[in-house]
Amino acid sequence: VSQDQAYDNGQNATIQKQQQRAGMKTISKTAMRQKAVSNVLASLRMEHLQPSPAVVQAMVACVAGQVSTAHVRQQVMQQHVTLQRH
């Protein structure tokens, strides 16, 4: 281990300890994607809608890290949102 790597490892450990003392949580990307999918489902439920098969497929792919949350949002908009023009 080089001096630079040892310093970086020490800095990372120090930052992690500071975050723990401050009560901060580290959230993984998977957890963030799962939260985004949960929010999509909650929004659909509030509107009394069931996700379409395309949206379900996009949500599964999102949690697996295969597509972005933006892609899921796009699928929801295409499948469940009707634009009203006045």
Whether the model pTM is above 0.85 = no
Segment 15-28 mean pLDDT: 65
pLDDT, residue 31, reads: 87
Rg (CA), the chain: 20
Indicate if the pLDDT at residue 36 is higher than 60. Answer: yes
pLDDT, greater one: 47 or 85: 47
Indicate if the pLDDT at residue 6 is higher than 80. Answer: no
Kindly indicate the confidence band of residue 24, based on its pLDDT and cuts at 50, 70 and 90: low
Segment 56-60 mean pLDDT: 90
